[in-house]
Structure formats: C-alpha cells, structure tokens
C-alpha cells in the first residue's frame, strides 16, 4: 500500500532562514510520481512540483528546491531565505503510474504547517 509520511507537524522559522520540509514515502511500484502542494490560509491547494520515480535530479525553482533520494524514499523540499508569504501548510503526495483515463489518485501526507515570522 502507498503511504506518505511528513513527520514534521509544524515548523516555525524567522524570515530569511532556510527551512527543509521532509517527506518519506512507501510504495511497491517501480514507477510512481511525487508531488508537493502548498495550502495557504485561503484554502486551495497550489501545485508546486511533480517528479517521476526515474528522475532523481534535484530541482530548483527560485527559492524552492527539491531533493529526491530513491535510496531513502525521500522527497524533501527546501525553501531558501524564507518569507512571511511562505507561511502555509505544505503537503507531499504520491501517485502510482496508471491510466489517466480513470483519473489519478493522490495519496497525501498529513502536511507540515510552516510559520515564517518577520
């Protein structure tokens, strides 16, 4: 069965600090996809990144970077020089490969609340 664990329930940092959000996953599939979503106070989840299991290259997008390590089944997310606007709940999610005709099912972690203080 698939499972996503975000062990950090809540993290508080001061603006400009770097922060890493951990994500560990379990799956029996060899092909799978990992996602990160951000949920600001307004409620809607905002897509940040999708990574497939064959692409272990780290990715950087502005202040955001992701470290995918298959050997430890982890897909961690780092925010560099955090800002108050980064305050949100961050979810890691896993989807197995499959026919999109059936819609894709995402299994979410419990989320990490990030509070960035000025």
Partner 1 sequence: ETGVTQTPRHLVMGMTNKKSLKCEQHLGHNAMYWYKQSAKKPLELMFVYNFKEQTENNSVPSRFSPECPNSSHLFLHLHTLQPEDSALYLCASSQGVGGAAPEEQFFGPGTRLTVL
Residue in 45, 79, 88, 116 binding partner 1, rule: CB under 8 A = 45
x/- binding map, residues 78-107, to partner 1, per CB under 8 A? -------------x-x-xxxxxxxxxxxxx
Binding of partner 1 by 111 (CB under 8 A): yes
Stretch that binds partner 1, among 7-15, 20-28, 36-44, 60-68 (CB under 8 A): 36-44
Question: What residues form DSSP beta bridges with 63?
Answer: none
Taking the least distance from each CB to partner 1, the nearer of 65 and 98 is 98
Report if residue 109 touches partner 1, rule: CB under 8 A: yes
Under the binding rule (CB under 8 A), the answer on residue 1 touching partner 1 is no
Phi-psi region of 111 (alpha: psi -120 to 50; beta: other; left: phi over 0): left
Q: Would you mind telling me the total number of residues written for the chain in this entry?
A: 118
Q: How far apart are CA 32 and CA 42, in angstroms?
A: 30
In this structure, are residues 55 and 14 in contact, taking their beta carbons and an 8 Å threshold? no
Q: Among 44, 54, 61, 62, which residue interacts with partner 1 (rule: CB under 8 A)?
A: 44
Q: How many residues bind partner 1 (CB under 8 A)?
A: 31
Cβ-Cβ contacts under 8 Å for 42 (sequence gap 6 or more): none
CA dihedral 107, 35, 72, 114 (to 10 degrees): -90
Instruction: Give the binding site for partner 1 (CB under 8 A).
Output: 4, 33, 35, 37, 42-47, 50, 52, 91, 93, 95-111
């Amino acid at each position: 069965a698939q499972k996503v664990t975000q062990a950090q329930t809540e993290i508080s940092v001061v603006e400009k600090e770097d922060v890493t959000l951990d994500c560990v996953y379990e799956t029996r599939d060899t092909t799978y996809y990992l996602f990160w979503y951000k949920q600001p106070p307004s409620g809607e989840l905002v897509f940040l990144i999708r990574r497939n299991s064959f692409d272990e290259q780290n990715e950087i997008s502005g202040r955001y970077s992701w470290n995918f390590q298959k050997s430890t089944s982890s897909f961690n997310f780092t925010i560099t020089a955090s800002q108050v606007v980064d305050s949100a709940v961050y979810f890691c999610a896993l989807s197995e490969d499959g026919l999109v005709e059936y819609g894709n099912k995402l299994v979410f972690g419990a989320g990490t609340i990030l509070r960035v203080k000025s």
